[in-house]
Structure 1
Amino acid sequence: MESARRKTSQEKVSAKVKSAAEDRVKVFCRIKPVPNDESCLKVRSHTEVSLLPPETRASHHQQNGREIRHSFSYVFDEQASHKEVFDRVALPLVENLIRGKNGVIFAYGVTGSGKTFTMAGRPQDGGVVPRCLDVIFNSISSNLATKYVFLPDRINGFGIQSDSGAVMNGQHELHSGRSLRMQKNDTHFGQRIPDDTKIEGIINANSTYAVFVTYVEIYNNAVFDLLEDVSKDAIRLNKLQVKNIREDAYHNMYVHSVTEVEVKSTEEAFEVFSKGQKRKRMAMTILNPESSRSHSVFTIRLVQAPLYSQGESSLTYMKATHISQLSLVDLAGSERTKRTNNCGQRLREAGSINNSLMTLRTCLKVLRDNQLHKYRRLVPYRYSKMTLLFKRFFEGEGRVQMIVCVNPNVDEYAETVHVMKFSEMTQEVQTDFILPEVRKKHNLVSKEALREVEENWNGESDYSTNTNNDHAQMSPDLVMKRCIIFKEWQKMFHDFYNKFRDVEEEKSLAEHECFSWPTAVDQGVNKMIALRNRMVSYESKLKNMNKQIKEEEADTLSIKQELQY
């Protein structure tokens, strides 16, 4: 009996340790290829690397020139392919996405270490983003909902309309010329080799799915929509509207009024991604000819709704709809001014990038210290838009993983040391999944609504997306009355939705004006101060000139008097 109790106790401890290990932030290392004689990094195993200080710095090193070993969840050496990285890092999160769970992947490293290459890849060999899209559509293609059935409300939720309304929306988009059209001359599509991986066994045949994507960048601590429908001049002059980060009813952070594009295939999704890539702020620096000047966030949202027994969407049961998301974040690389020799705008950009990355480090450090010492210091998420946007992920609303890209060149040794220290600290952070009360209530409502659908549905519905329902048991007059009532309700819904959208747009414009007023006032005050200084300067000059005139008049008078004598 005693041994049985001891065994049970040991199993509980083992399960607790295993759970803690699973809750930790997983950090993966990917090494950029460089010639062997220029490398300061050596791969010891699939989970360990050693950092070798250059001879010129060995005497100043804190460990007397000895190598320093660092551990990771997994190490990808110089020969690792995009496929290997995706399968180990992103594929589990894609599976979680389909299961209804959230996730985020950060690409972190110094400038020129291969972050964008890891996330986007090449046309013929896709990185994390295109492979995520491939696997999602490979897995759910047979269960995709009719396009435009789900409508983004721009406040982190979705509305639903009937199939007939969806068809009308599609025709309107087609006639307005706003629908996606793949560019035939785009080599990204012509040369791209898709990933054929398919997740099986977890797709719910009694559910329908819709995929939405957004793409934003955080530039100088301001959020911009890379998919916003604006003129070419606005894009060329970088005059996109600043977006605000808000909190929804479930305390999730989101970008208000962001453009969400529904995509029905990998090709459509990848075209949207390419559109955003072309709008990203890039510039040439000494260390990187194509340096990202902002953090970019590409988010995939999966909407899942239950089906009736005859394959019709449960549109009147919006509470039973589930939304999950996967965010893929390409962080801008940290830069040191003495190495890049940046000045002017590039210097301001580098300062903003470094400040946001420092805020990320600070937030992770505070989280780790809170978990180790059991006290609750305030985590400074609001110091940066990037950390504020992913606040809920670090608090347990989804799985967090990081790909640390390392340039092992000996010239990058000092930067690599800082990257390794940050990686070690990040791995100590646990993202314990603690479901808030409001989310528990929402999940309970969703389960009750789903159970109600399954219990009450008998193959007929007054509000079905299928216009060919069998109404044999109803009188023609009753069918006609119900159709009229439904059409009137549908019209009222669309009118209300359009008014709601107009009000939200007006509110967004008003907020933008409110944010611009302080700047305008400051500019006006600066102009007044400048004018006042100029006036004071002119008054001083005028006073000096009057003094000189009086002195000259006195001299003239003196000369005249002398001439008279």
Structure 2
Amino acid sequence: MEPMLDNEEFFRRSYVTSIEPPQRTGPVNVEDIKADLSTEFSLVSPSSDTSQVRNSLESKGHIQVCLRIRPFTALERENEFQDCVSLEDSASIILKPPKNSLSRLSEKNAGQMIQKFTFSRVFGPETTQEEFFEGAMRQPVQDFLDGYNRLIFTYGVTNAGKTYTFRGTEDDVGILPRTMDMLFKSIQGKLYTAMDLKPHRCRDYIKLTKDQVREEIALKNSILRLTKEVENDFFLY
């Protein structure tokens, strides 16, 4: 006997078809969420004043954007120096079109292509790893140690220098090793030496009894023993 699919007892409408279509409410007014960025991405003029823009950026306090300009590579130095990026002050840069393109532009158009960008702080190509860490990283790391949440990441195009800034080299480490060094030095003498705390879920922990501590130690030793046996078997083969 076939089921009666047309009966309400057996037939259920899908989630999509069971939802009533949204009612049109007319055009949405977005005037209150529009942002005027003309002051931050404006053409450079002799009388331009960036102090107001910089104070506005610093007063928000939600995000800090630091720009680090990497030096030219040996291959890039072989080509004509275009002087496209120049530092105006510690927080602003000026971008100009390449010199080889100026011949194809009128004086008016060339002037319109000159732009000024303002950041929280700008680090020139001569900036060392230590100087960059002290100027851009030490305070956020200290804020983290004081109990505040901080997120730091590098962003840029390929070959912009992100890996060098973040990791550095063996002889000149970047912001990540320097941050870890600062973190570990800050907890010297403050470590909890007892082995009776066990992580629980994602953000909690359990304090173990003496019997539970012995069980955990035995479990750890058995796992390490198995690991050594596997390594020995691997070398035998």
Shorter-normalised TM-score: what interval?
0.5 to 0.7
Q: Does structure 2 retain, via aligned residues, the 8 Å contact 1:147–1:166?
A: no
| Counterparts in 2 of 1:121 and 1:27: CA distance versus 1, 3 Å | same
1:49 to 70, 93, 96: 93
Partner in structure 1 of residue 109 of structure 2:
64
2:129 to 75, 82, 90: 82
Q: Does structure 1 retain, via aligned residues, the 8 Å contact 2:88–2:94?
A: yes
Q: Say whether 1:130 aligns with 2:177.
A: yes
Q: Say whether 1:37 aligns with 2:75.
A: no
Q: Does structure 1 retain, via aligned residues, the 8 Å contact 2:91–2:121?
A: yes
Cα-Cα RMSD: 3.2
Q: Does structure 1 retain, via aligned residues, the 8 Å contact 2:198–2:208?
A: no
Matched residues in 1 for 2:110 and 2:57: separation? 38
Deviation at residue 122 of structure 1 after TM alignment:
1.1
Matched residues in 1 for 2:214 and 2:172: separation? 36
1:120 to 167, 192, 198: 167
SS in structure 2 of the partner of residue 102 of structure 1: coil
Partner in structure 2 of residue 209 of structure 1:
none
- More strand by proportion, 1 or 2? 1
Matched residues in 2 for 1:103 and 1:115: separation? 19
Deviation at residue 176 of structure 1 after TM alignment:
2.8
Partner in structure 1 of residue 206 of structure 2:
160
User: Structure 2 counterpart of 1:162, which letter?
Assistant: L
Q: 1:213-224 alignment to 2 at 5 Å?
A: none
- What are the superposed Cα offsets for residues 168-202 of structure 1, whole Å, 9 maximum, x if unpaired? 64664465349xxxxxxxxxxxxxxxxxxxxxxxx
| Counterparts in 2 of 1:57 and 1:94: CA distance versus 1, 3 Å | same
Matched residues in 1 for 2:120 and 2:58: separation? 14
- Structure 2 stretches of 5 or more lacking a match? 1-54, 226-237
Q: Does structure 2 retain, via aligned residues, the 8 Å contact 1:148–1:169?
A: no
- Structure 1 stretches of 5 or more lacking a match? 1-16, 179-565
Deviation at residue 41 of structure 1 after TM alignment:
1.1
Deviation at residue 38 of structure 1 after TM alignment:
4.9
Matched residues in 1 for 2:205 and 2:135: separation? 35
User: Structure 2 counterpart of 1:146, which letter?
Assistant: T
Q: TM-score, normalised by structure 1?
A: 0.26
Deviation at residue 148 of structure 1 after TM alignment:
5.5
Deviation at residue 77 of structure 1 after TM alignment:
0.9
Q: Does structure 2 retain, via aligned residues, the 8 Å contact 1:49–1:71?
A: yes
| Counterparts in 2 of 1:166 and 1:126: CA distance versus 1, 3 Å | farther
Q: 1:195-344 alignment to 2 at 5 Å?
A: none
- Percent sequence identity over matched residues? 26
Q: Does structure 2 retain, via aligned residues, the 8 Å contact 1:50–1:70?
A: yes
Which protein has greater RCO, CA pairs closer than 8 Å, 6+ apart?
A: 1
User: Structure 2 counterpart of 1:106, which letter?
Assistant: F
- What are the superposed Cα offsets for residues 396-417 of structure 1, whole Å, 9 maximum, x if unpaired? xxxxxxxxxxxxxxxxxxxxxx
Matched residues in 2 for 1:61 and 1:24: separation? 41
- More helix by proportion, 1 or 2? 1
Deviation at residue 111 of structure 1 after TM alignment:
0.9
Count residues in correspondence. Answer: 161
Q: TM-score, normalised by structure 2?
A: 0.57
